[in-house]
């Protein structure tokens, strides 16, 4: 609230100073444009000059902002595309790692099952060799 009041007071002081300046500088000044001459009050010439300067500044700033916004939009598009590509690469790597791990587990399982079969065969051979034959 205080900031708004302070800005209002500063703006009011500037407006009063401009009015005083305009009242003091009412004498007409000759301006030559090359093909014509114009006689206008000094304050009007200053006012027109300030407006033209502000307009040119606004146009340059607007053009610069437009270019920056366009560049930002393009860069956001690139970021989105790169994020998508990165996610695809991650998914592909995870799928490949999962497939390799599954293949490794299957190979280990087959190896363990073969070992179990060998141990069973050895146990059966040992059982038949150590089991006494029944005489009838």
Is residue 5, in this structure, part of any structural domain at all?
no
Cα 65 from chain centroid (whole Å): 17
Please state, in angstroms and rounded to a whole number, the distance separating the CA atoms of residues 89 and 133.
Answer: 67
Is residue 129, in this structure, part of any structural domain at all?
no
CA neighbor of 50 nearest in space, from 79, 21, 84: 21
Which stretch of 16-20, 54-58, 111-115, 117-121 has the lowest confidence by average pLDDT? 16-20
Please state, in angstroms and rounded to a whole number, the distance separating the CA atoms of residues 118 and 124.
Answer: 10
Q: Which domain holds residue 90?
A: 29-121
Is residue 78, in this structure, part of any structural domain at all?
yes
Predicted pLDDT of residue 132: 66
Is residue 63, in this structure, part of any structural domain at all?
yes
Dihedral pair phi/psi, residue 30, rounded to 5°: -85, 125
At residue 24 the predicted structure's pLDDT band, cuts being 50, 70 and 90, is confident
Domain count, the chain: 1
Residues 43 and 26 sit within 8 Å (Cβ to Cβ):
yes
pLDDT digit string (tens) for 74-89?
Answer: 999 999 999 999 999 9
Please state, in angstroms and rounded to a whole number, the distance separating the CA atoms of residues 89 and 83.
Answer: 10
Is residue 36, in this structure, part of any structural domain at all?
yes
Give the residue, 107 or 45, on which the prediction is more confident. 107
Task: Write down the pTM of the prediction.
Answer: 0.45
């Amino acid at each position: 609230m205080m900031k708004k009041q302070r800005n209002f007071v500063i703006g009011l002081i500037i407006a009063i100073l401009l009015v005083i300046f305009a009242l003091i500088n009412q004498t007409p000044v000759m301006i030559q444009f090359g093909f014509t001459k114009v006689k206008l009050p000094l304050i009007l010439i200053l006012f027109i000059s300030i407006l033209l300067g502000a307009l040119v500044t606004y146009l340059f700033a607007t053009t610069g902002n437009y270019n920056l916004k366009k560049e930002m939009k393009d860069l956001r598009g690139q970021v989105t595309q790169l994020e998508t590509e990165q996610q695809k690469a991650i998914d592909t790597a995870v799928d490949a790692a999962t497939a390799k791990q599954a293949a490794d587990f299957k190979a280990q399982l087959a190896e363990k099952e073969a070992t179990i079969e060998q141990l069973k065969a050895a146990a059966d051979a040992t059982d038949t060799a150590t089991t006494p034959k029944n005489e009838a």
